[in-house]
Amino acid sequence: MDRRQRKTREAIFRAFIEILSKKDFNNITVGEIIEKADIGRATFYAHFETKEFLLKELCEELFCHVFDSVGDVHNDHRHIFECEAPDSVFLHLFQHLKKNDNNILDLLSGHNNELFMRYFKTNLQKLVASQLNMFDSSKSKSLPESFRINHISAVFVETVCWWVNNGMKETPETITEYFFLSV
């Protein structure tokens, strides 16, 4: 993707995130998105087939940033975030939540949180599956792997919800420690 296309895509994402923080997904029109992004209808459709596809792509963009850093944690990576990835992918997620990059907290706690959380948990399960060796398997040898992945993902999501609902007073490092102690 060239620089111009990337900038257009980022403008669409920013506009969409801003609208999502204020309105229910089902009540958002493509017209509102293109007006807020200051682009033409044909440009929108050149990037995204529908607003549902836009939501899917936004979620993938948010999550692939972290997931792309899994295998190569010390390289600077760039999607719609820019940062130095820490050693722990879970700490990395908590750091982005704390910084509220791209208003991600609005997506997690706004009108559309169920829709967004579903994408979040689906992608999180892939992450947990790739990091399963980080979790103590001695106490769970009799559990099916799919159960463990689902359980760890659910604990992470609930940890995020608890942290956000309690004002995010803990540092990302502390909340990561709480997460690991609870699974």
Tens digit of each residue's pLDDT (9 = 90 or more) over 90-104: 888 888 788 766 667
The answer to whether 149 and 125 have CB atoms below 8 angstroms apart is yes
Q: For residue 78, what pLDDT is reported?
A: 46
Q: What is the mean pLDDT of the chain?
A: 82
CA–CA gap between residue 37 and residue 104 (Å, rounded): 18
Tens digit of each residue's pLDDT (9 = 90 or more) over 108-149: 666 667 777 777 788 888 888 888 888 876 666 788 999 999
Q: For residue 119, what pLDDT is reported?
A: 79
Instruction: Give this prediction's pTM.
Output: 0.73
The answer to whether 111 and 20 have CB atoms below 8 angstroms apart is yes
Tens digit of each residue's pLDDT (9 = 90 or more) over 56-72: 888 777 767 666 655 55
